[in-house]
């Protein structure tokens, strides 16, 4: 996949939710009409629909990650940073519920979508794992069996899955996934699974 020029990339990402939520996803010919470019231009940058979906999902993953990292203050304790990061992620997903559909499809999409999952792991899950590990070390957070090396990774994966399904469930039932009260409840719920109780 070649990197499209900034203007085309912006138009594709802006139309990304419509493209990602399509079932099945639209053909490149239809996407070309939606974003106001030629079919040949899209085929120059993308070998097919999977390439385009990979581009859109990785772009959204990086933008969501940037927002999460920007929200976390290094001086805050890990529990506060984790909550801030999760709030930023659920706000982003709430504004782009089609991304949830696309990420879940990528999880079952085989090798073509492996890049999407790798970007998600690098840009979103890895920073969350670092904060959770710090929180566990300080005693502010808890996750499963600390003798099990994958406990922190499993907890973060469960948390991200909870956010995706929470937003997607809200949107598919006709609710507003951008509603602040819903988002706060969702973050509180997923935080409870890692918060030490006295």
Amino acid 147: pLDDT: 64
Residue pair 46/8 in contact by the 8 Å Cβ criterion: no
pTM across the whole model: 0.87
Q: Work out the burial of residue 182: count CB atoms within 10 Å of its CB; fewer than 13 is exposed, 13-18 middle, 19 or more buried.
A: middle
63-122 pLDDT, tens per residue?
999 999 999 999 999 999 999 999 999 999 999 988 888 777 766 666 557 788 888 899
Q: Both tokens of residue 49?
A: 């629909």
- pLDDT, tens only, 21-73: 777 778 899 999 999 999 999 999 998 888 888 898 889 899 999 999 999 99
Instruction: Supply the pLDDT for residue 184.
Output: 96
- Residues ≥6 apart with Cβ < 8 Å to 41: 8, 32
Give the contacts of 44 (CB within 8 A, at least 6 positions apart). 2
What is the tens place of the pLDDT at every residue in 115-155?
888 888 999 999 999 999 999 999 889 887 666 768 899 99
CATH code for the part of the protein at 6-192: 1.10.357.10
How many Å apart are CA 43 and CA 38, to the nearest integer?
9
Give the position of tokens 């992620």: 89
pLDDT of residue 152: 92
Domain edges within the chain: 6-192
The DSSP secondary structure of 131-166, one letter per residue, reads HHHHHHHHTSB--S-TTSTTHHHHHHHHHHHHHHHH
Measure Cα distances from 195 to 83, 142, 189 in Å.
11, 6, 10
pLDDT recorded at residue 198: 42
Q: Distance between CA 131 and CA 80 in Å, rounded?
A: 10
pLDDT of 66:
95
Residue 193 has pLDDT above 80, yes or no: yes
């Amino acid at each position: 996949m070649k990197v499209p020029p900034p203007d085309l990339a912006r138009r594709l990402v802006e139309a990304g939710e419509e493209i990602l939520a399509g079932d099945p996803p639209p053909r490149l010919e239809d996407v070309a009409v939606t974003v106001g470019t030629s079919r040949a231009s899209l085929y120059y940058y993308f070998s097919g629909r999977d390439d385009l979906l990979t581009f859109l999902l990785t772009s959204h993953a990086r933008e969501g990650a940037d927002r999460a990292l920007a929200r976390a203050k290094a001086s805050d304790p890990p529990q506060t940073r984790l909550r801030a990061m999760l709030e930023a992620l659920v706000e982003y997903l709430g504004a782009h519920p089609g991304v949830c559909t696309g990420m879940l499809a990528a999880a079952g999409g085989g090798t073509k979508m492996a890049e999407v999952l790798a970007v998600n792991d690098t840009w979103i899950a890895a920073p969350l794992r670092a904060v959770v590990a710090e929180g566990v070390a300080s005693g502010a957070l808890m996750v499963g069996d600390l003798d099990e090396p994958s406990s922190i990774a499993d907890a973060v994966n469960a948390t991200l899955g909870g956010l995706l399904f929470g937003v997607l469930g809200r949107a598919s039932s006709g609710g507003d996934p951008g509603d602040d009260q819903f988002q706060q409840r969702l973050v509180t719920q997923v935080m409870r699974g890692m918060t030490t109780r006295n």
